[in-house]
């Protein structure tokens, strides 16, 4: 896929605290945020789906609580985040509303992206928000995430989100132009690396050398983000965010580092489903469903004749024809109990049988890969 922002369908944009918050005065950079709002509205008007992952809660809240500029204890930063997140969400809401866009606040913890059921819930909610035209604004749920289970930096959170929603591109807006051959601060000869096609030991080494800061948001965490997204078939770009209209500048050929992958999000997801998951159950399907699957359709409850195994919603299951031959694997949209009750029935009967309105498909075609 080409490294062209205009060609991407689903884009995650990560915004660091240093861009949004004037660190000296600890107030919001309103002019910058308005310019970003213009950029986001332009992408959306072009038909692109946009998700923002924004930091800034702690930076905004610490001033209000009189916590000063020094290093905070964990509970102090959590308290600051609780205060600052309100202002942060409000700032996005008003800037986006002026451009006719509804902002949706989503706060995630590490376990929301690591545990399959929570992961699926978060994925489905974010997909629904995009379908309904809202712009999700995501941050870590700092107030409940304790140190051992924290992301701590939004580079990795943004990368997990990009993988989770099968984004085509992750944009990390940073205070540097991209990855350099050395520290751009200490070494004036350090050159920008415009394109990275593989994360080699040399690239890892220069990221360590070029780091100008410790802790969250450094080049090492950005490379970690690249490892996560490239494996999920998502391209990544690091670009300077501190200019006004940073996304327009990126499109106009501004300095940046693109991290390329030849995979696509759907292909990466399908190989993950086919290869790395231990199936927890088995759905046996009739001849009509076999034909439908081979034509690339989803699996509907009506085509399933038997359910075996003890599985939860979102688990991987095998899909076999009546004779027992494996045909496909997929992530099932119902647990084994509910699946057993709806098989053989039309999708419109699901609500009456289960008492809630689940998905029409027992395995959606995006969650299904033919193996036989």
Binding-site ranges for ligand GLU (CB under 6 A) = 17, 55-59, 81, 139-140, 142, 153-154, 216-217
The token pair at 263 is: 């995979």
Query: Whose Cβ is closer to ligand GLU: residue 16's or residue 330's?
Result: 16
Distance CA 252, CA 246 (A): 10
Residue 61 makes CB contacts below 8 A (sequence gap 6+) with 79, 80, 81, 82, 83, 84, 85, 87
CB of 84 to ligand GLU, least distance (A): 6
The torsion angle over the Cα atoms of residues 180, 183, 189 and 191, rounded to 10 degrees, is: 0
Report the 10 Å Cβ neighbour count for 287. Answer: 11
Tokens of 29: 């950079």
Nearer Cβ to ligand GLU (20/320): 20
Q: CA dihedral defined by 249, 165, 274, 260, rounded to 10 degrees?
A: 10
Distance in Å, CB of 139 to ligand GLU, minimum = 5
CB closer to ligand GLU out of 72 and 134: 72
CB of 276 to ligand GLU, least distance (A): 29
DSSP letters, 228-295, are: HHHHTT-EEEEEE-SSSSHHHHHHTT-SEEEE--SS-HHHHHHHHHHHS----EEEEE-HHHHHHHHT
Taking the least distance from each CB to ligand GLU, the nearer of 48 and 54 is 54
Give min distance, CB of 281 to ligand GLU, in A. Answer: 38
CB of 59 to ligand GLU, least distance (A): 6
Q: Please identify, using beta-carbon distances, which residue of 56 and 301 lies nearer to ligand GLU.
A: 56
Smallest separation (angstroms) from ligand GLU to the CB of 78: 10
CB of 143 to ligand GLU, least distance (A): 10
**How do strand 368-370 and strand 326-331 relate by DSSP bridges?**
antiparallel
Q: Contact at 8 Å (CB) between 136 and 51?
A: yes
Residue 204 or 216: the one with the smaller Cβ distance to ligand GLU is 216
By beta-carbon proximity to ligand GLU, the closer residue of 103 and 283 is 103
């Amino acid at each position: 896929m080409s490294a062209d922002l205009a060609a991407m369908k689903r884009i995650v944009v990560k915004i660091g605290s240093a861009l949004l918050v004037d660190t000296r005065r600890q107030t919001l950079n309103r002019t910058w945020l308005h310019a970003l709002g213009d950029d986001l509205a332009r992408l959306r008007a072009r038909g692109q789906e946009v998700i923002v992952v924004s930091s800034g809660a702690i930076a905004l809240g610490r001033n209000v609580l009189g916590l000063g500029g020094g290093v905070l204890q964990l509970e102090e930063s959590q308290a600051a985040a609780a205060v600052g997140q309100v202002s942060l969400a409000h700032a996005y809401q008003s800037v986006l509303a002026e451009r006719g866009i509804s902002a949706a606040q989503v706060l995630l913890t590490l376990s929301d992206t690591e545990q399959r059921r929570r992961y699926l819930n978060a994925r489905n909610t974010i997909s629904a928000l995009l379908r309904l035209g809202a712009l999700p604004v995501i941050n870590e749920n700092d107030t409940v995430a304790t140190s051992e289970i924290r992301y701590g930096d939004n580079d990795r959170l943004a990368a997990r989100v990009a993988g989770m929603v099968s984004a085509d591109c992750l944009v990390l807006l940073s205070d540097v132009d991209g990855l350099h051959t050395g520290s751009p601060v200490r070494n004036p000869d350090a050159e920008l690396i415009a394109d990275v096609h593989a994360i080699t030991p040399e690239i890892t080494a220069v990221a360590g050398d070029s780091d100008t800061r410790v802790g969250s948001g450094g080049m090492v965490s950005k490379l970690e983000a690249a490892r996560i997204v490239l494996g999920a078939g998502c391209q990544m770009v690091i670009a300077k965010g501190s200019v006004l209209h940073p996304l327009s500048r990126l499109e106009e050929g501004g300095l940046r580092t693109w991290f390329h992958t030849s995979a696509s999000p759907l292909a990466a997801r399908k190989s993950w489903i086919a290869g790395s998951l231990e199936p927890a159950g088995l759905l046996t399907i009739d001849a009509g469903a076999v034909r439908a699957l081979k034509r690339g359709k989803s699996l509907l409850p009506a085509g399933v004749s038997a359910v075996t195994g003890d599985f939860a919603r979102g688990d991987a299951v095998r899909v076999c024809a009546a004779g027992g031959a494996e045909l496909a694997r997929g992530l099932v949209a119902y647990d084994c109990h509910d699946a057993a009750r709806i098989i053989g029935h039309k999708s419109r009967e699901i609500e009456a049988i289960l008492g809630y309105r689940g998905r029409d498909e027992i395995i959606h075609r995006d969650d299904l890969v033919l193996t036989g």
